[in-house]
Structure formats: structure tokens, C-alpha cells
Amino acid sequence: MSHELIDEVAPSESAAAPVQRRNTHTDIHADVHADVHADVHADVHADVRSESTATAPRPPYEASSVRHVHPTRAANRKPRVAIVHDWLVTYAGAERVLEQIIDCFPDADLFSVVDFVEEKDRKFLRGKRATTSFIQRLPKARTKYRAYLPFMPLAIEQLDVSGYDVVISSSHAVAKGVLTGPDQFHISYVHSPIRYAWDLQHQYLQESQLTRGPKSMLARLILHYIRNWDVRTANSVDQFVANSSFIARRIHKVYQREAEVVYPPVDVDSFELETSKEDFYLTASRLVPYKKIDLIVEAFSRMPGKRLVVIGDGPDMQKVRAKAGPNVEVMGYQPFSVLHDRMRRAKAFVFAAEEDFGISVVEAQACGTPVIAYGKGGALETVRDSGPHPTGLFFEEQRAESIIAAVESFERDPKRFRAEDCRANAEQFSATHFREQFFARVARAVPAIAEVGLPRARAPKVSDTHGTSSAGGDDDEGGHPATQNAPRVLAIDQSGVLGGAELSLLEVVKGLRARIEVLLFNDGPFREALDAAGARVDVLDSGALRNVRRDGGAVPKLGVLAGIAALVRETRRRARGADVLYANTQRAMVIGVLAGKLARKPVVWHLRDIVSDEHFGRVQRAVIKGCAKLGLAHVIANSHASAQVFSELTNFDSRRIDVVHNGVDESPFRALARVPQAQLRAQIGLPEDAFLVGAFSRLARWKGQHVLLEALLLEPRAHAVFVGAPLFGEDAYAQELREFVAARGLADRVHFLGFRHDIAACMRAMDVIAHTSITPEPFGRVVVEGMLAQRPVVASRDGGVKEIVEHGKSGLLCTPGDAQELARTISALCDDETLRERLAENGLAVARERFGKEQYVEAVGRVLDGVVMRAR
């Protein structure tokens, strides 16, 4: 049988009573109420949700999460985990996934048909040795293991995993066929059903010259046998996870089973963003037939005025070289450093394969390089070709003419593809996201796994041994170190929007991983962000409660009270499975206290406001006082200023108040460190030579944007840039600002950018970041963000800001509402570049040392764990 026919390699570049809504990535939810003296019971509530996530494509087939772990095992000890991989001979796309699965379950045992990975290349296995099959000992198995494909179904069935509670198979061939029992949970991450045995059979028979004769008949019989075995063994898998919606459709077609989607990990942090592009195109891949590199080379050879660089080696090298014109540079195999350099500088990355996923496509976007791709397969899920922030375009046929037409279309308007948009799109496929989402799938099905928690991520690494891609690994958050008996947390938030409180909670949810669930009282972008992070999230319709304002002074009406009662009832039901309720906002705290009292669970309020009469109405402050006495176990305050006002209002025991400053993720700012300021201004549409003072917050009177406008009248060299929009009935104030600008002739010096997603880019486009609140700020997240953007910060001397900025060292402080002092401060910064640089440098150091997201998440986790321990 032909070597090529059975070369089934892994892909190498490879979301009345209140209404419950569902998580993006699954329409069937199981609520598990576990007790050590009882069996595990699963209540499955199916509910189809009409909305889809805005951050990632929704899988077309979504699977049940029914639990299968034996209750005695789950209750008495840490579950044993086995990981089964097809074969271990190299480090390619499937092995990247395996590497991250091992990071999720570092104590798991490893199984494989063969293990011939060289000692120097075994780092991705974390020192593990695989238990192998009889094929390991057959003649020439090290180099001819693929020739034993007909025996692999038998071999995989001989691997004994009967002593494990959870079996995880990483399968592109036979691994999913491992034998498991009724008390074991088997989850299979499928890179693809056996491609050569299914939809690509005829293609590979032709390419292997096995279309006629006795060898062809033998090959077809073997493939028929493998297909029958493949379908039969699909029944032993409890849950399928696909690496793309494209593969989910294949799974449904072949196995008649549904699959959730968790995209493969891409080491985006090893690829640096570059916004300055040069006049050449790039393609990089192993040179094998289905990659169609020869087709790309043919297309560019017919466009002699356009330069193409080809990186990679393989069986098609001679075919590629034969078609290459003088404008095509075939570099062959190159180390990662060379690939990275070309990928950053290329004006576009060209990709012609029908790939299951396409890791190289994501890597290119991580460099800020747009993609010209064949519009089929995984590329449809990793490249955005429409909408306000496209990252590439598609061609419809695998023909040279189609590639030529796509390149010509790209060159008609290349500026519509922004490097920052490409990078932002790539980051949703990071290794961190993979670990979070895959672990959450296993933990949802096996409650005892959730109690163990997701281990910290290890230090990043970049492999220089692979010519077309970097090694896996990621240095993003590791989260709170969980133990086997880690308390379960139900986080509650009233909002669906992505405000500062919600961004901070998002970091906590990522950090505490599988032991936290989230309950929202409104749907929106916040739910979508939680879905994208792999969080378990439910949305309750808050009904009449939406109209309750924190500055209101009237007693709630009957309809509002009925809505509160309904929310309390539903929250109490969900609280039964938690050890502590963690309320992130004031209205969520009220519901949480009432539900916690009924469910006999401790409640922790993360206080993110200064509860003074400037921010809260009389009734709201009275409710806060009542809740503090009724059932608050502990308070986490985001600043000493917030803690002090709360303590004075409620006489709350100071020993039950912890101050934990918010943590801010530096990575969006770090990714733009090498992008010139002039380029950012040009992309955003700001004047290149002006002295820009940026204000970043929603447009609200207490945020004090009018103070900056008044300062502009006193300092004519400065321009003001307002990033933000009115959110909570503040449109009249926004109109006042615009009228002020028009009446004072400031239209050419004031720039209203509205709501933006690219905050890091906008901040780095500024000369100064101004925080102008006229009433005390509870914390001042924008101040920390300005420091991380390496820009000098001017802030109001009040509230939590005084705990962030040391005047004259890490920033400058002004009297709130004093436009004259603000103008003088801006003038001083405008005149003194050295002062600006010193403040920016010191501010960055302070932000990194005191306001990192890792220490923030760990501090919150310690408080929650301490509250549970005292309650027990």
C-alpha cells in the first residue's frame, strides 16, 4: 500500500420568573448538584438562544454536557486522567494541541500508538513518556510507522486505560477508538475524521497512483474497513470537541454526532505586531499537494510586477521551483526567526489550502499581516473579510486566475486592512483561550475536575526547530492556584455592557477558571466576552429592575419589587451549588444578599463605587446600609477611598473589608510598543503634529470633560481627544459639550471619537492622558491604562486616583474642576519633553508593579477562599 495513501498526518497548520438564556458554545446546559453522600445528579435544561457571539463564529453543532463520572470515584479522590494521542513522531499542529492539553492536566498519563520523539524535542511533552502499542516494536516502525495504518485500529484498542476516570483523546486518525467503560468519561478533541478514508479518499488514490489494479483494490478494501471501524468507535465517545466549525460539520456528516468547537492554540505572543509593510507577498507551508503552494507560485509568476516569497520544504519542492518566475523567491526550509521576520514585513499572506483550521493564517494576522485565502474550510472562521474591521479577503476557486483576481482586489485598497485589527482578531485564538475553553468543557462534564482547577500556565518558549511555525506555549495568566477542595464561586453582575467593573470581573473569571460560574441580569457584550473566555454564564431577564437608577430617591414600585423577588428566587436556586456568592455591582449585591440569606451562603461584595450622596440616591444608600447589616459577609473595595466612605455609611466591621486595587492587562499595550505614534494617528484620523490630550471615559458630567474644554481656551497649543460615548441617559451632556466646542470655535482642536474598541492604540496616539473627574473616582482604571500606554497622566487629586499616582513621580495631580490649573499643567508638559518621558517611564513601572492582573486575581481568590473557610 502506498506510503502517501496512508500518510494521515495531523494538520500541520492546524459560544413573573426570569428567563434563562444560554452560553454561546452550548445550547444544552447541565446543572449538577453534587453531595459526597449521594450520587451525581444532572438536571439538563435545554434552551435555544437566538443570539450569537460577536467575537467568534458560533459552531453549527453544539453538544450535551451530561456527566459520566462514577460518583464514588469523583467524591473520594482526585480523578485520574489519561491522554491518548495518535502517534508521537514530530511536533506539528496536533502536537501543539496535545501540549496545551497536558498543561491543563499535568498529572495525566500519556498513551500513543508509537512514541519516537527525539529526546531533544520532547519539551512539549513535559517529560512524559507514552505507553505505546505493539506497533512500537515492529520492524522499521520508527520510519515506516504509517505503513502500519491497517493495524492501528487493533493497536489503539489494546491500550489499557480502564484505570482512569477521564479519558481525553487527541485524534486525527485512530485515538478516539480507545476502549472505555460506562463509568469513564471520554472526551475526544478531533482535528479531523480520518481524511484519507473519507472525503479525500479519491484525491489521495489519484495522487498515489492507486486508481487501478490489485494494489488499488487492496487500498480501497483497507479504507472501507477503516471507515466502518471509525463510525463504530464514535459511539464510545461521550463528547466531541472539534478544532473548527468546518470539522464540526465533518463530524456530524461522518458520525452523526454533534461537537463543540474549541479553536487550536496559536502562540500569538511569539509573533510581534508590525504596522510598516514592505512590497512583497508571503506564503509559508510544508510543500505537499493539498497545500497548493504550486498554484500560488503559478499565479504570481503570471504577475511579474508582484514579488512572492515562499518558505517551506517538502515533496512538491521541485514542482514549485519549476513554476517559479524571476519574481518568486523560493527560500526552502527556514528557522522561526526568518519566518517571523518575513511574516511581519509582508504586505499580505497568501493561503490556498482547504485547511481544517490553518495556524499559519492566524500567525500572519498576529504579525498584523492581512490574509488572502481560499474561501473554504477553517480560513472562513479565522479571517474576517467583511464588516468594519476586515483582516483579509477570500478567493472562490483553487485556480491561478482566482488568486490573481484576489491579489488585484487587495491592491486596489490595501489600507482598508489595519494591522491592529489583524492582531486583535488573532488574539482570540491564543493558547490561553484554548486552555480556558477546553478545561471548561471537561470540568463542566466532570465536577471533580472543576474542584482541582486549571494549573498555572508555564513560561513561554519559542522553538527554532520548525521552519513554518513557532512552538506552542503562552505566558498569559495562570490564575489563582486552586486545590482539590477549592471553593465554588457564583459571580453576579447586573450589567450586559463592558464597563470598568465588568472588565475587572472578566479577569477574575479567567483567573479562577473552572470553579466560578457567572450570573448576569442583562445580556450584551459582557456576556459575549465571557463566552469567548470559555466561562460558564447564564443570563436572567432583569425585567422591571432595569429602570432602577443608583441615584434615584423614590421608593421602588410594586413591579420593581416583583422583579427583585423573581431574581432572588432564580439566584437562590443557582446558589445551591456554590460555596460563596461574589457580587460585582450594587444591584447584584442586593439580589445576592437576599438570595444568600435564603440559601445560607456567604456573600462578598466587590465594592467598585464611592457610596456617597454624589453618586447614590437616598433610597439606594439606605438599601446598602440594610444589606450590610442583613447578610454581607465581606467587602472587597477597589480603593481605600471606596472602603472609607462605605465604612462611614454602614459602620461595617473594618476587619471584614479588604482593599484590592484593580488589575489591568498589559498585553494590548505591549503589542503596540513598536508602532510609531504618527502611524497610529494616521490610522485613527488624528492630526499628526498636534499636541493631543486624550480623555477616556463615558461622556458624563461628573467625569468632567467640560473642564478639559475650558482648559483648551487657556492653552491654544493643545488639542482634546474624547474617547467614549454617553451611556446612561447622559446624551444632553454630550450635546452640551458639542455646543460648547461650536460656540468657542474649537472645532478644529476637539476630536470626538465616540466608543472605541482599540483603546490601547488610541492612548498610544496621545501625548498626554487626562483624567478630569470632578467628583471622587472610586479607582481610576483609565489612569493605570494611561501608564501602561507609556504616556504621562494628568489626573484629578481625589478618590482612588491618589492611591495610583504619586504627584511629580508617576504622574501629575490637579484640583478637581480647576480648568486653570489643568491648563498650566498641560502647558508644562507641552514645554518639557524630558518631564513627559520621565513621568511615562515611572508610570509604566508603577503600573506593572502594583496593578498587574495576576496579583489582582490572586488577591480576590484569597479573600473568597478565606470567607468560605470562616463560614465552614
Per residue in 12-47, pLDDT (tens digit) is 333 333 333 333 333 323 333 333 233 323 332 333
Q: In the numeric block, which cell numbers belong to residue 5?
A: 495513501
CA angle 677, 683, 689 (to 5 degrees): 45
Burial profile 107-141: b = 16 or more Cβ within 10 angstroms, e = fewer: ebbbbbbbbbbeeebeebbeebebbbbebbebeeb
Nearest CA to 30 among 75, 69, 58? 69
Domain count, the chain: 4
**Pair (117, 240) in one structural domain:** yes
Domain end marker among 231, 261, 291: 261
Residue range 415-434, pLDDT digits in tens: 899 999 999 899 888 888 89
CA distances from 405 to 109, 305, 393, 401 (A): 51, 14, 11, 6
**Tens-digit pLDDT profile for residues 619-670:** 889 999 999 998 899 999 999 999 999 999 999 998 999 999 999 988 889 8
- Judge whether 75 lies within some domain: yes
By C-alpha distance, which of 345, 367, 349, 347 is closest to 358? 349
The domain boundary, picked from 232, 261, 290, lies at 261
- Average pLDDT on 785-810 reads 95
Q: What is the CATH number of the domain that holds 148?
A: 3.40.50
| Lookup: cell for 829 | 508638559
**Domain co-membership, 311 together with 341:** yes
Q: Are residues 241 and 378 in the same domain?
A: no
Q: Is 694 helix (H, G, I), strand (E, B) or coil?
A: strand
526 and 416 within one domain: no
Is 221 in the same domain as 281?
no
Instruction: Verify that 225 and 351 share a domain, yes or no.
Output: no
Q: Scan for cell 506510503, then name that residue.
A: 3
**Rounded CA separation 407/857 (Å):** 46
DSSP letter string, 165-205: SEEEEEESSSGGG----TTSEEEEEES-S-GGGTTTHHHHH
Cell of 162: 480502564
Rounded CA separation 148/144 (Å): 7
Which residues neighbour 195 within 8 Å (Cβ) at sequence distance 6 or greater?
A: 8, 172
How much is the mean pLDDT over the chain?
83
Average pLDDT over residues 377-406: 92
- CATH number for the domain that contains residue 498: 3.40.50.2000
Which cell goes with 321? 521551483
Which of 485, 482, 494 is CA-nearest to residue 605? Answer: 494
Q: Terminal CA-to-CA distance of the chain, rounded, Å?
A: 66
User: Of the ranges 200-209, 446-455, 525-534, 839-848, which one carries the lowest mean pLDDT score?
Assistant: 200-209
Residue 46 lies in a domain: no
Burial label, 548 (beta-carbon count in 10 A; 0-12, 13-18, 19+): buried
Query: What pLDDT does 729 receive?
Result: 73
Backbone torsion region of residue 479, taken as left when φ is above 0, otherwise alpha when ψ lies between -120 and 50, otherwise beta:
left
Residue 551 belongs to a domain? yes
**Grid coordinates in use for 743?**
460656540
Residues 536, 692: Cα–Cα separation, whole Å: 42
Is 51 among the domain residues?
Answer: no
Among 369, 392, 427, identify where a domain stops: 427
Interatomic CA distance for residues 105 and 486, integer angstroms: 16
Considering the domain architecture, whether residues 836 and 864 belong to the same structural domain is answered as no
Distance in angstroms (rounded) separating the CA atoms of residues 677 and 721: 15
Assigned domain for 750 exists: yes
The verdict on residue 126 lying in a domain is: yes
Distance CA 210, CA 218 (A): 10
Q: Which three cell numbers stand for residue 292?
A: 497548493
Residues 102 and 190 placed together within one structural domain of the fold: yes
Same domain as 329, residue 183? no
Q: Are residues 120 and 234 in the same domain?
A: yes
> Letter for the amino acid at 384?
R
Kindly state whether residue 469 falls inside one of the protein's structural domains: no
Give the model's pLDDT for residue 472: 32
Question: Is 391 within a domain?
Answer: yes
Q: What is the pLDDT of residues 686-744, one digit of tens each?
A: 999 999 999 999 899 999 999 999 999 999 999 999 999 887 678 899 999 999 999 99
Residue 247 and residue 330 share a domain: no
Question: β-strands 28-33, 41-46: how paired?
Answer: antiparallel
Residue type, 794: V
C-beta separation of 709 from 823 below 8 A: no
DSSP string, 250-294: HHHHHH---EEE-PPPB-GGGS-------S-EEEE----GGG-HH
State how far the alpha carbon of 364 is from the alpha carbons of 266, 341, 451, 461, in Å.
11, 11, 37, 18
Q: Contact at 8 Å (CB) between 476 and 102?
A: no
pLDDT (0 to 100) of residue 199: 67
Range of the domain at 653: 477-663+855-871
Residue 624 and residue 583 in contact, taking contact as beta carbons nearer than 8 Å: no
Evaluate the CA torsion angle 872, 506, 245, 287 in order and state its sign: negative
Instruction: Tell whether 712 and 832 lie within a shared domain.
Output: yes
What's the Rg (C-alpha) of the chain? 29
Q: What is the DSSP letter of 801?
A: G
**Cell representation of residue 383:** 479571517
pTM over 0.75: no
